[in-house]
């Protein structure tokens, strides 16, 4: 057995490989050792090289997912699998090309789905969100927005703070207080660290020729936030139109738990003064 346990917040996804080299490749990719806790769900992975009939590798493993109740297929056979919510066990057959180069970042999307399956199995209320996550003075902050809005720029401007990720962070709403945590996914920031902190605020980013932070409570702001949430689809879930309402529901839960702000900023750390001022005078 060549098992790699990947911690994602409060859940662990156990990946069971046929060959040791695949386990070592995953450890190298995520730059994390296997977690000592047993998996909340367990997936057997097999790799194959049979790309005949495969037109292209899509950017989304959500939009190309099809299921029939017995199993699922992604991108016309790029990944095929099955998963039982009852047992917490599943199998994936993966075209090995998806683990090469930048394609590996696309493969991560199937692990996002594994995360959702594990969260549901444990009865948690947690989600993944496209964002930079920063811990400053013991408080956690989520900076989010569409591609190019400045998430990685924010991470680079947070010297003296802990950057948990510059691309995918985790928000746990299971307890009385919202918690932001690191994830192993997708972040290229070289100095990111593992950790978590109470979530103090979520900031919707927009680059501008000035710094300004203002409270956002409109339905439009919540809708904007919802677009940055990883679709809440487990391995057992095919794509359905209701997933967009589920993303909106997740955004509403976040806005109910912590303040939501609109943040316009220059590429310098002066935005922290605006955040501090808003938090002192809510």
Give the pLDDT confidence of 107-116 residue by residue, as tens digits. 899 999 999 9
Greater pLDDT, 247 or 159: 247
105 pLDDT tier (thresholds 50, 70, 90): confident
Average pLDDT over residues 257-264: 96
Asked if 151 and 250 sit in the same domain, the reply is yes
Domain that holds residue 29: 2-122
Q: What is the mean pLDDT of residues 41-51?
A: 89
The pLDDT-based confidence of 72 (bands split at 50, 70, 90) is: very high
pLDDT of 1 > 80? The answer is no
pLDDT number for residue 175: 94
Chosen domain end from 106, 122, 138:
122
Co-location of 136 and 275 in the same domain: yes
Write out the two tokens for 87.
């047992």
Say if residue 109 is in the same domain as residue 207: no
Do residues 269 and 142 both lie within one domain? yes
- pLDDT > 90? residue 240: no
CB contact at 8 A, 127 and 171: yes
- Cβ atoms of 134 and 269 within 8 Å: the answer is no
Residue at a domain's end among 83, 105, 122: 122
Same-domain pairing of 261 and 194: yes
pLDDT tens for residues 118-162? Answer: 999 999 999 999 999 999 999 999 999 998 899 999 999 998 899
| pLDDT at residue 54, rounded to an integer | 57
Asked if 169 and 245 sit in the same domain, the reply is: yes
CATH number at residue 141: 3.90.228.20
Stretch 204-209: mean pLDDT: 94
Query: Which tops the pLDDT comparison, 60 or 197?
Result: 197
Residue 209 has what pLDDT? Answer: 94
Same domain, 151 and 103: no
Average of per-residue pLDDT across 31-59: 85
Q: Are 166 and 95 contained in the same domain?
A: no
**From CA 9, how far away is CA 11, in angstroms rounded?**
6
pLDDT band at 52; cut points 50, 70, 90: low
pLDDT score of 234:
94
Looking at the structure, do residues 238 and 113 belong to the same domain, yes or no?
Answer: no
In this structure, what are the phi and psi dihedrals at residue 125, rounded to the nearest 5 degrees?
Answer: -120, 90
pTM of the model as a whole: 0.94
Contact 32, 59 (CB under 8 A): no
Say yes or no: 96 and 145 in one domain. no
Cα(225)–Cα(146) distance, integer angstroms: 9
Whether residues 171 and 216 share a domain: the answer is yes
- Give the pLDDT mean for 84-103: 89
Instruction: Read off the pLDDT of residues 176-203 as tens digits, 9 standing for 90 and up.
Output: 999 999 999 987 788 899 999 999 999 9
Residues 14, 5: contact at Cβ < 8 Å?
yes
The total domain count for the chain is 2
Last residue of one domain, picked from the residues 122, 147, 174 = 122
Q: What pLDDT score does 239 carry?
A: 82
């Amino acid at each position: 057995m060549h098992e790699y346990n990947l911690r994602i917040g409060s859940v662990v996804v156990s990946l069971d490989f046929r060959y040791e080299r695949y386990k070592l490749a995953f450890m190298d990719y995520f730059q994390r050792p296997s977690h000592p806790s047993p998996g909340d769900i367990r997936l057997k992975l097999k790799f194959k090289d049979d790309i005949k009939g495969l037109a292209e590798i899509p950017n989304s493993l959500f939009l190309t997912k099809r299921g029939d109740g017995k199993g699922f297929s992604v991108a016309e056979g790029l990944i095929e699998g099955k998963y039982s919510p009852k047992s917490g066990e599943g199998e994936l057959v993966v075209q090995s090309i998806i683990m090469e180069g930048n394609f590996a970042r696309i493969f991560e999307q199937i692990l996002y789905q594994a995360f959702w399956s594990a969260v549901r199995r444990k009865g948690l209320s947690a989600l993944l969100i496209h964002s930079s996550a920063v811990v400053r003075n013991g408080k956690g902050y989520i900076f989010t927005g569409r591609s190019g809005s400045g998430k990685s720029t924010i991470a680079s401007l947070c010297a003296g703070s802990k950057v948990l990720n510059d691309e995918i962070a985790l928000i746990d709403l299971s307890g009385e207080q919202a918690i932001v945590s690191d994830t192993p996914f997708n972040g290229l920031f070289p100095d990111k660290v593992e950790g978590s902190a109470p979530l103090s605020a979520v900031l919707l980013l927009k680059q501008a020729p000035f710094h300004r932070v203002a409270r956002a409570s409109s339905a439009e702001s919540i809708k904007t936030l919802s677009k940055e949430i990883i679709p809440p689809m487990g391995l057992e879930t095919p794509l359905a139109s209701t997933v967009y309402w589920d993303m909106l529901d997740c955004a509403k839960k976040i806005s109910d738990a912590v303040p939501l702000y609109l943040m316009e900023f220059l590429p310098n750390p002066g935005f922290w003064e605006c955040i501090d001022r808003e938090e002192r005078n809510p």
